[in-house]
Chain A
Amino acid sequence: MPGWIADNALLIGLAVLDGLSYAAAVFMVAVGLNLIFGVLRVLNIAHGSLYAIGGYSAAALGLFVVSRGLPGWLVFPTLLAASVLVGLVLGPPIERLLRRTEKEEPVLQLLVTFALFMILEDLQKLLFGVQPVVFDAPLKMLGTVDIPFGQDVIPFTAYQLFVLPGIALVTLAGLAWFLRRTLYGRMIVAVTTDREAARAMGIDAAKVTLLTFTAGAALAALGGALASPTASLVPGVGAQTIVLSFAVVATAGLGQIEGAAVTSLLIGLGRSFAVYFEPELEVVVPYLIMVAVLLVRPQGLFGVPETRRI
């Protein structure tokens, strides 16, 4: 083993760089889903559609900014603005629908999001068409960075190397601060931990739910917006992205932001090592990680065992 590491030290270094940027992308999609799951206890299947619509909207707004000849740096705030817009426009109505079925069985809420996923999937097609959409101005603007590799150099895009992991870290730190240090944040944590007790203490659960869902939707859209400079947006992109986030949520533990971060890191690194050393395993790596984690920790990486209610 040490011999293998020494032989492949340079490759391992590259794999780590690739893994980090992939992890950042995974985290950005999964963190909103996890937040929503923590508070509403519903796995939002429409999260993938929000991701796709966020990506399309960012690309559309970005192309508009570029076509107007506005200053180039504006594309970055545009990505953010598009995400917030999608979150504000789509988040509250979806949350309302979910709240209508709050008293029913949890599976009904899950299916509300499944139905929304189907509706949004076609809506996205009607709005944005079927031709692949890319908005690569941010990518091109930042250029590449040469990473030494023995005698050789490997160019990485600055976007992939710095922007994606940077935004993921800022999001993680910002959310952690918000959840621990602000009143609303603490209310969210309280509801996540024990909804009934939080209600009994006078926390307005409805308000917390609305806030969380809107924030979660905006995060999903931000995930899509951040992907739009490199990924091609096509019909069906949401369904394929979201299934990975499901694995992250279950592996992380309910509503755990840090759990989502660690899981994303595991998945990102696991995947890139697979591509480097055993490419055929690439697709199954996230699921293998999930099964392995849950075998050891049935409540997820950072989850707390639920109290046994009698």
Chain B
Amino acid sequence: MSRRALLELVAALAAAAIVLLVAALVPWLRFVLTIAIAKGIAVLGILLLLRAGQVSFGHALYVALAAYAAAFAAPRMPEALLLLPLGALVSGAVGLVVGLFVVRYREIFFGMLNLALSMVFYSVLEKFYALTHGTDGIRLPAIRYVGTALGPEEAGWATLAVAILLALGFGAFVRVYLLSPMGEALSAMKTRETRLEFMGIPARRVLLAAYVLSAVMAGCGGVIIAMTTRHVTPALAYWTASGELVFIAILGGAGSVFGPFLGAFGYELTRTYAAALVADAWQMILGIVLLGVILFAPGGLWGMGRSALRRRPAGEGAA
């Protein structure tokens, strides 16, 4: 393991410890932090696609798909360790089918096809009212963890722990993946896709692999959201929810696997605090924050932090 990887591992573990500490000190934030991590996991998948220069405006589809899968399965199978793989599987499978279609497209067509499919799913959730209760949504029963029924307090902790473990796992995986030939091929796609093809690498398959992975991660995020809020509604699939995921990716910075989580914490905390201070204009505050980040720190929160760290040695005369 390289020094840098070790450093990042330590940083990730420290971040996890801080999250747990804050959740212990401020009980009401535990919920917000769990949701933030769930969204961060979904955004990790967006990050993969961003590497290839593709922006999906419909990944809320996979979040919602897995959340609903969990909500439908939970009454018969209220076990977190089964619901998570189930959600990942459902999202991954649909991601594969949709992916086979959408990886033929680039840029706006890619983005808008994803948006269209998520909006179709949104309408389906409304139309099959008898099954889904439409906007009223479905409530999940209490979830067991490794067969143990927990009280609401313990269940909250368990979900947060599961979320952190998944975040660490997926974070490490994406980091390795991006450095692997498949990951390098994604970056190559962004610069000049044709060159990739000349080298005999099928660009569509590279993108498809990333797409399915991103669907799986969005699915895991969706199941965690469902287990945390214990109430799923079609709003999870609305196009603005997809926009939110892209928003978080850019807010955090697409340069590192830490970005999505930084972005998600930044987003959820800004929203929560803005809503608490000015219930009327939280959207405006969020917009101004995003605009500020884009204009003054296009590398996102991660880039901001890194350049702040770098500036110090530069001041000492190092190049």
Let me know if chains A and B touch directly in the complex, using CB atoms closer than 8 Å: yes
Residues of B32-88 at the interface with A, using a CB-CB cut-off of 8 Å, are 50, 53, 55, 57
Report if A107-B250 is in contact (Cβ < 8 Å); known contacts: A45-B243, A116-B287, A119-B284. Answer: yes
Binding site for B on A (CB under 8 A): 37, 43, 45, 97, 100-101, 104-108, 110-112, 114-119, 121-123, 125-126, 239, 243, 246-247, 249-250, 254, 280, 283-284, 287-288, 290-291, 294-295, 298-300, 308-310
Tell me, in angstroms, the Cα distance from A155 to B97 when the chains sit together. 47
Q: Which residues of A contact B107 (CB under 8 A)?
A: 106
Q: Which residues of A contact B195 (CB under 8 A)?
A: 310
Tell me, in angstroms, the Cα distance from A243 to B124 when the chains sit together. 17
**A123-B284, A290-B113, A310-B195 given. 16 additional CB < 8 A pairs?**
A43-B108, A107-B55, A108-B294, A108-B298, A114-B246, A115-B291, A116-B287, A118-B287, A119-B283, A119-B288, A122-B281, A122-B283, A125-B280, A246-B115, A287-B117, A295-B101
- Asked whether B286 lies within 8 Å of A118 as measured between CB atoms, the reply is yes
By CB atoms of chain B within 10 A, which of A119, A123, A125 has the most? A119
Binding site for A on B (CB under 8 A): 50, 53, 55, 57, 101, 104-105, 107-109, 111-113, 115-117, 119-120, 123-124, 126-127, 192, 194-195, 198, 239-240, 243, 246-247, 250, 280-281, 283-284, 286-288, 290-291, 294-295, 298
Tell me, in angstroms, the Cα distance from A112 to B288 when the chains sit together. 10
A-B contact count (CB 8 A): 121
- Asked whether A243 lies within 8 Å of B115 as measured between CB atoms, the reply is yes
Q: Which residues of B contact A239 (CB under 8 A)?
A: 240
Tell me, in angstroms, the Cα distance from A37 to B119 when the chains sit together. 21
Report if A287-B116 is in contact (Cβ < 8 Å); known contacts: A111-B250, A243-B239. Answer: yes
How many Å from the CB of A263 to the closest CB on chain B?
12
How many Å from the CB of B286 to the closest CB on chain A?
6
Q: Which residues of B contact A294 (CB under 8 A)?
A: 105, 109, 113
Tell me, in angstroms, the Cα distance from A111 to B46 when the chains sit together. 14
Q: Which residues of B contact A104 (CB under 8 A)?
A: 294, 298
Q: Which residues of B contact A106 (CB under 8 A)?
A: 55, 107
Residue B246 contacts which of A107, A118, A300 (CB distance < 8 angstroms)? A107
Q: Which residues of A contact B250 (CB under 8 A)?
A: 107-108, 111
Q: Which residues of B contact A45 (CB under 8 A)?
A: 243
Tell me, in angstroms, the Cα distance from A43 to B284 when the chains sit together. 20
Tell me, in angstroms, the Cα distance from A300 to B105 when the chains sit together. 11
Q: Which residues of B contact A107 (CB under 8 A)?
A: 50, 55, 246, 250
Tell me, in angstroms, the Cα distance from A284 to B124 when the chains sit together. 9
How many Å from the CB of A274 to the closest CB on chain B?
12
How many Å from the CB of B304 to the closest CB on chain A?
14
- Asked whether A121 lies within 8 Å of B283 as measured between CB atoms, the reply is yes
How many Å from the CB of B243 to the closest CB on chain A?
6
